[in-house]
A and B are shown apart, each in its own frame.
Chain A
């Protein structure tokens, strides 16, 4: 360990966090993305407390109306308030994005750490299995998993989580591989620390940057895939609002009223856009080389 003369003051966790926050504020992409995403999340999470109408209640005599004082964004084909439905519908899309990436991280991190740390045969077998899953196109793998399950939001989250877990594992593995030869890992090994402790206590805190970047990039794609599943009728189920499902019903009426199509489309695009900005911005902040070249 360091002697008196060579002691270097390492920045504390708090200071590190503060300087990262500073950098995010100074990176326009990350800042704009984070601000937008936070705004969208807050609005949809708190939505039930302030939306003007119950998103499932039907106002007969107000079918496919444009924006008015009574219905700020208009109404859908059954006479339901679009503003309320778009706000509440965001909850499903965000749940799909964050939930499935959460699951992908929960599976991918331990798999990637194990593969990267063990090298050799175990690594080979694990990564070949991951490659195999990754050789099935994302949406098709999602569909295949949903074939075996019934169609609802939770199963869609599960399916998309499984789809992205190998991609997280791959990033975690390459980062772990690099870290596992470093001095701090060697000294922890020499001190007889247990392998789980070395993986989760020593290596994991040092590879949070690439994980954060990959995770945030994946949220955008997870929302895309998840809402595509809902669009195909295999994700969120009516009457609960969901952007993908709303767009699916709206396209039967596009030549009567474009508003019905427009609002959920704008909301969905804006959400994916803000997540992509954030992911890209974080990649610049952390200056990491991993991830993002594959949709």
Chain B
């Protein structure tokens, strides 16, 4: 390595560090603002929270007592500061309907939802990238039209439709391949655990997969037309190496961004998919909490997936910067 490239590398490292620090600070600021927004939206709820707990027939005195217990008689800025410091320190208040701390209600459900999200994300990546590359390699041929046509239709099917159709086809008679819903802990039975996860994660991945596949195809088609790939072809490298090493490597950058951008879609779909499969996770809890106007639960059940999405984007940006710098060096050497 010449001293010149070492200097360039050092400079680049410094740039990335500065960029990272800025990006992380901005992410934290965003989270704070989102929390503030969630607080504002949930404190303007119609109907007093005390009435929700006690029922409509409660006497004025009882309502006043409960409001004091909940701290609802305090001015709004005091409540905001209390609430925000609670969010940060893990003291998330008490659920109205479960009458237990919110943290304890959310934690096991969050773990189950995380399993679903991880399976679905792996599924999206494992299927959409290779299939997108294959479609791009057969650009404007039968296979490409077939794949594109499929992704067109798949991206138009809402999760509650695809999920219910999967239930009808695979969970019911005559096949009875999978349970119709619910959850089993992996500690109880590994097979049962997996069979409960298959249909919900497939459903969760389906629409996203179709969308990411289309974008990967477009990105790889772009990359295939670049100088970089043309040079690899001139060198006489086998076509699959050109495709998966050279074209995909360049096509991967936009694909990462696409997956990260659309991770938010998955955070929303979780709500629908868990409802379809009666999966006891965070998504189902959100609907329950909204129907019961359980404010402390709503606040955290919305904040956690949103925070996850914001961090996913931060992670994608960092990965992007890392891969991007590697590609730059790859070109230089």
A residues contacting B by CB (< 8 A) are 131-132, 135-140, 142-150, 220, 224-225, 227-228, 231-234, 244, 247-248, 250-251, 254-255, 258, 261, 265, 268-270, 272-273, 276-277, 293-295
Contact = CB atoms under 8 A, between A and B. Distances in A.
A225 B160 CA distance: 11
Nearest to B27: A135
Contact of A254 (B46, B164, B310): B164
B164 A232 contact: no
B267 A231 contact: no
Nearest to A274: B156
A196 B302 CA distance: 38
A139 B282 CA distance: 14
A273 B152 contact: yes
A143 B165 contact: no
Contacts of B165: 261, 265
B161 A269 contact: yes
A228 B272 contact: yes
B264 interface: yes
A293 B262 CA distance: 9
B305 interface: yes
A98 to B, nearest CB: 17
Nearest to A272: B156
A135 B305 contact: no
Interface string B256-269: 00100110110111
A151 to B, nearest CB: 9
Contacts of A258: 168
B44 interface: yes
Contacts of A244: 158, 160
Contacts of B164: 247, 250-251, 254, 261, 265
Contact of A135 (B157, B207, B271, B310): B310
B264 A138 contact: yes
A143 B309 CA distance: 16
B168 A261 contact: yes
B152 A254 contact: no
B109 to A, nearest CB: 15
A234 B264 contact: no
A109 to B, nearest CB: 23
A236 B306 CA distance: 26
